[in-house]
Amino acid sequence: MRIIFLGTSAGRPTKARNVTSVALLLDKRNRFWLFDAGEGTQHRLLGSKLKLNKLDRIFITHLHGDHLYGLPGLLASRSYFEGAGPLKLYGPPGIREYVESAFRLSEAHLDYELETIEAEPGMLIEDDQYTVEVRELEHRIRCFGYRVTERPSPGRLDLAALERLGVPFGPLLGKLKRGEDVLLDNGMLVRSSDVTGAPIKGRAVAFLGDTTPCDDAVVLGKEADLLVHEATFAPGMEEKALAYGHSTFRQAAEIAAQAGAKRLVVTHFSSRFDDEEVERMVDGAKIIFPNIEAAREYAEIEVAKPK
């Protein structure tokens, strides 16, 4: 599991930063999900190793332009990629009207199936690999945060126990690892629980849209392996942050600390701050949450499996 930042600017792009978009890579085949698609996101994808035919889900946090103006063009361009299968688009109420209006007025046609789901707070996705929970944040318009949680992995096989019980190498090992009990040729029943360790906890990554500090931001980030949180304003600008529905670097660190997150990456920086100023504010927030870092354009961050 790995994330790539395709845009880290707030409100409008700058020469150094594009507006918001983050990719979540799920496996070695570079299958990925996209969180927000500000203007120019498909151009940023061209500068990465990611291909639109490997994209199968998009999650929009809210309907402000710096988070979705790049969506219609990206969806239209995906038709030109061979092997682009069905795509699911999630977002707040209004996302369907936005996309359908853009396609109707521009007479665009997609060569793949697009399913648009208007989300509400709660469990959004539950499949055999991941769950995705959505909660509502506090911004000027309805805005969501998403928490992606990987299902637990089977525990390690106890090789010494398998040898002692006479379990042969082959398909039976796979069944035991999947939690299935097996019957040996000699009639002995081998229980999976007797030859496997405890399940390995899955990883959790939380992607928050624009928000002032709120309880649901803490819930989404609870013990997350990685929390991606906006940091639009500098410490000391809390009143302005509140007025515009945003957070400061210090407030983002406080949310991560309250949530017990393992790692915090801040993004969505005001264009008034250059990289040096961003790093200075990150350093200042380490007194609250030491494991904080600033997102960078095209930065790749690995989310390691728990040991």
Radius of gyration of the chain (CA): 22
246 a known binding residue?
Answer: no
In which band, very low, low, confident or very high, does the pLDDT at 305 lie, cut at 50, 70 and 90? confident
Burial profile 188-217: b = 16 or more Cβ within 10 angstroms, e = fewer? eebebeebbeeeeebbbbbbbbbbbbbebb
Q: What is the mean pLDDT of residues 212-231?
A: 98
- HSE of 276, CA atoms in CB hemisphere, 13 A: 0
Domain annotation for the chain: domains and CATH numbers: 2-153+200-302 (3.60.15.10), 159-195 (no CATH)
Q: Where are the beta strands (DSSP E) in 240-295?
A: 264-267, 292-294
- Return the higher-pLDDT residue of 29 and 299: 299
Is the pLDDT at 28 greater than 80? The verdict is no
What percent of the chain is predicted at pLDDT more than 90? 80
DSSP type of residue 155: P
43 a known binding residue?
Answer: no
pLDDT tens by residue, 116-173: 999 999 999 999 899 999 999 999 999 999 999 999 887 788 888 888 888 888 888 8
- Residue 66 bears catalytic tag: yes
Per-residue confidence (pLDDT) for residue 270, from 0 to 100: 97
Q: Is the dihedral of CA 226, 230, 233, 236 positive or negative?
A: negative
Catalytic residue, candidates 27, 36, 56, 66: 66
Per-residue confidence (pLDDT) for residue 157, from 0 to 100: 83
128 a known binding residue?
Answer: no
β-pair partners for 34: 23, 58
pLDDT tens by residue, 179-198: 788 888 888 898 888 888 88
What percent of the chain is predicted at pLDDT more than 70? 100
In which band, very low, low, confident or very high, does the pLDDT at 84 lie, cut at 50, 70 and 90? very high
Cα separation, 4 vs 50, in Å, equals: 10
111 a known binding residue?
Answer: no
Cα separation, 75 vs 200, in Å, equals: 36
Contacts 24+ apart (CB under 8 A), 173-178: 178/154
- The overall average pLDDT reported for the chain is 94
Tell me which of 3-17, 110-124, 171-185, 237-251 is least confident. 171-185
109 a known binding residue?
Answer: no
